[in-house]
């Protein structure tokens, strides 16, 4: 890695939000070497086969063991407090005071940029070294989903879409975009300290409004900001009420 400051920073397990995102931008700039250009905006594609609109329903599902594209490409893979991933595979991100963890992500290798849990073998297989303990974000990323196939195309594991297929997919994406985004959808969430030492989760809504959706004692509960992005207020409320999601420490 050219920037020795980021090599040092990558060895730590904990960062403030500003340090973390500065590091991610620097890593991301290195990532595109030797990759093919994406035909579709990858972030807008579904990770569930049930929601596919590009891949034919009878397309064969690829074998993850001989692939690893998502584990090498996706840099910001969120880990919930309630997940079981080993601590050495995680980067924790704190608020700017360093006081409370507001997000956790799978750690990347400084040289290869792979998720550090990925354990490539000499015969070219790409197994996950923490398969039974991989975070829910990984469990929800389905082999055979449109996003999976798009990543495999930029690694050259699958042929490009034809021009007709690409334009048909872009048309679907355009119609999805123009469908009204619910003002009840959370664009982003921030965890901030309150005057009495507790923390609150502030949802920044699609329509620009801000709402406090939960206040918690950090000694009893632990939340990650990424969990709330893109959910609706009612889904967020359900998530908060589910005891298995709180990462409750008692
Ligand atoms: S989910 Fe798809 S991209 Fe990820 S390892 Fe499996 S086949 Fe490859
Ligand atoms: S934890 Fe396992 S499945 Fe998830 S990105 Fe890392 S190697 Fe892939």
Model confidence over 136-184: pLDDT tens digits?
999 999 999 999 999 999 999 999 999 999 999 999 999 887 665 677 8
Which ligand 2 atom is the nearest neighbour of the CA of 115? Answer: 6
The residue with greater pLDDT, 198 or 179, is 198
φ and ψ at residue 52, rounded to 5 degrees: -60, 140
Which atom of ligand 1 is least distant from the CA of 68?
A: 5
Lowest mean pLDDT among 5-14, 38-47, 94-103, 238-247: 5-14
- 245, 239 in Cβ contact below 8 A? yes
pLDDT at 117 over 60: yes
Distance CA 156, CA 8 (A): 32
- 213's CB contacts (< 8 A; 6+ apart) are 189, 201, 202, 203, 228, 233, 236, 237, 240
pLDDT at 214: 96
CA of 69 to the centre of ligand 1 (A): 6
Order of strands across the sheet with 186-193? Answer: 186-193, 199-205, 210-216
Pocket test for ligand 2, best of 63, 68, 117 (most atoms within 8 A of CB): 117
Under 8 Å between Cβ of 72 and 115: yes
Ligand 2 proximity of 148 Cβ (cutoff 6 Å): no
Inform me whether the pLDDT recorded for 2 exceeds 60: no
Instruction: Give the confidence band of 240 by pLDDT, cuts at 50, 70, 90.
Output: very high
Q: Does the Cβ of 128 fall within 6 Å of ligand 2?
A: yes
Q: What is the pTM of this model?
A: 0.85
Which ligand sits closest to the CA of 106?
2
Mean pLDDT of 41-65: 96
The domain locations on the chain are 4-178, 186-245
Average model confidence (pLDDT) across the chain: 90
| Percentage of the residues of the chain whose pLDDT score is greater than 70 | 90
Which ligand is nearest the CA of 145, by number? 1
Record the tokens describing residue 62, joined without a space: 């690829």
Instruction: Give the ligand whose atoms come closest to the C-alpha of residue 148.
Output: 1
Q: Is the pLDDT of residue 232 over 50?
A: yes
Atom of ligand 1 nearest to the CA of 151: 3
- pLDDT tens digits, residue range 124-136? 999 999 999 999 9
* Best residue for ligand 2 mutational test, from 47, 69, 70, 71 (most atoms within 8 Å of Cβ): 71
Q: How far is the CA of 44 from the centre of ligand 1 (A)?
A: 17
What is the DSSP annotation of 74-126? ----B--TT----GGGEEEEE-TTS-SEEEEEE-B-TTT-SBTTB---TTS--
Whether 151 is in the pocket of ligand 2, judged by its Cβ within 6 Å, is no
Q: What per-residue confidence (pLDDT) applies to 27?
A: 87
Residue 1 has a pLDDT of 46
User: How many Å lie between the centroid of ligand 1 and the Cα of residue 67?
Assistant: 6
Q: Which ligand is nearest to the CA of 64?
A: 1
More confident residue, 245 or 227: 227
């Amino acid at each position: 890695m050219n920037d020795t400051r980021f090599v040092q920073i990558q060895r730590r397990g904990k960062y403030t939000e500003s340090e973390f995102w500065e590091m991610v931008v620097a890593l991301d700039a290195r990532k595109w070497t030797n990759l093919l250009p994406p035909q579709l905006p990858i972030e807008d594609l579904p990770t569930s086969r049930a929601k596919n609109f590009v891949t034919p329903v009878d397309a064969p599902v690829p074998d993850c063991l001989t692939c690893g594209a998502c584990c090498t490409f996706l840099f910001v893979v969120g880990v919930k407090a309630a997940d079981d991933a080993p601590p050495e595979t995680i980067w924790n991100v704190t608020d700017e005071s360093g006081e409370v963890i507001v997000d956790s992500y799978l750690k990347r290798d400084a040289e290869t940029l792979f998720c550090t849990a990925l354990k490539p073998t000499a015969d070219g297989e790409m197994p996950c070294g923490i398969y039974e303990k991989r975070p829910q974000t990984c469990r929800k990323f389905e082999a055979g989903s449109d996003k999976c196939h798009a990543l495999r195309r930029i690694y050259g594991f699958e042929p490009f879409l034809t021009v007709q297929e690409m334009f048909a997919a872009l048309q679907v994406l355009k119609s999805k975009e123009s469908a009204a985004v619910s003002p009840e959808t959370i664009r982003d969430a921030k965890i901030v300290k309150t005057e009495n030492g507790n923390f609150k989760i502030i949802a920044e809504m699609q329509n620009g409004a801000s709402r406090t959706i939960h206040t918690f004692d950090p000694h009893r509960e632990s939340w990650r900001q990424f969990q709330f992005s893109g959910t609706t207020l009612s889904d967020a409320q359900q998530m908060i009420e589910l005891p298995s999601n709180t990462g409750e420490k008692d």
